[in-house]
Structure 1
């Protein structure tokens, strides 16, 4: 699909979660479907009738095993943050119905311990995980999402004690 054709497609509504530990590091998981290459933070679609906050807490639990009672909401993006898929992926992801995603991001403080993280979920997204500095994660994210991560960290840095 050409970029011109893709521009007529809508964005998929999505949430992203910056899960920050007491040391100011953020959760990063290596995608199970792209081993050795794609690291990212938890994210996922918003179901019908679900608020962005509800979707964020659900996705966090589904992808990391972290329960809602183990996090505290610090901040969220006021506006949607968007990204376009690379041209070669548009017809192959989400049934070719979307050009990319528009996301609400949440900064959550993790109140648990590493033992509370369990990526071996019912439908695993990540093969391994670790706490990273935001700049390290930006270097390891797939290139087409890099600007989103830079924007999100710019918005959240004042709330991260950095």
Structure 2
């Protein structure tokens, strides 16, 4: 078994894209030892599931909709380690996650619903590029920076 949990992550642009480039971030409700944890939606890939199938399922489970248009996919899998404490314990036996990132856009008039069967987030907001890193939990910043810089270089975001 791999020490890294297979996972997908969604960088969600609002329905105002490309006119306005704002990113969806949400505050987790289940990480007790780190305050104010904001992140992009993400989740595990189930056995036999493709990354794209997992993306749509995870969006339904976490934000109540999969009504998105996939704009791009990061070309590689990226890994990060969980910090010690609550998160690592919750995700045992994995020491981190191996992730596939997708850049998606909410379709017009899509409603976000965080009150899902098993809510993971307490609130969400849309922020500009600069404010992503002010809000995002520290241990995810290096990967977010790498992925966002790639999508920026490819011309998807400004």
- TM-score (normalizing by structure 2): 0.86
Is the Cα–Cα contact under 8 Å of residues 82 and 88 in structure 2 kept in the other structure? no
Is the Cα–Cα contact under 8 Å of residues 11 and 101 in structure 1 kept in the other structure? yes
**What is residue 87 of structure 1 aligned with on the other side?**
84
- What is the distance in 2 between the residues matched to 1:66 and 1:90? 26
**What is residue 144 of structure 1 aligned with on the other side?**
139
- Per-residue CA deviations over 1:74-106 (Å, capped at 9, x if unaligned) read 101111111111234575122x21111010000
1:87 counterpart SS class: coil
**What is residue 130 of structure 2 aligned with on the other side?**
135
Matches within 5 A, 1:36-75: 37-67=36-66, 70-75=67-72
Is the Cα–Cα contact under 8 Å of residues 24 and 160 in structure 1 kept in the other structure? no
Q: CA deviation at 1:161?
A: 4.0
- What is the distance in 1 between the residues matched to 2:108 and 2:64? 11
Q: Check 1:25–1:98 CA distance in 2 against 1; reply closer, same or farther (3 A cut).
A: same
Residue 108 (structure 1) aligned with residue 104 (structure 2): yes
- What is the distance in 2 between the residues matched to 1:131 and 1:11? 29
Is the Cα–Cα contact under 8 Å of residues 16 and 104 in structure 1 kept in the other structure? yes
Root-mean-square deviation (Å)? 2.0
**What is residue 27 of structure 1 aligned with on the other side?**
24
Task: Determine which of 118, 122, 133 is the counterpart of 2:117.
Answer: 122
Q: Check 1:150–1:44 CA distance in 2 against 1; reply closer, same or farther (3 A cut).
A: same
- What is the distance in 2 between the residues matched to 1:32 and 1:88? 16
Unaligned 5+ segments in structure 1 are 1-8
The structure richer in helix per residue is 1
- TM-score (normalizing by structure 1): 0.84
Unaligned 5+ segments in structure 2 are none
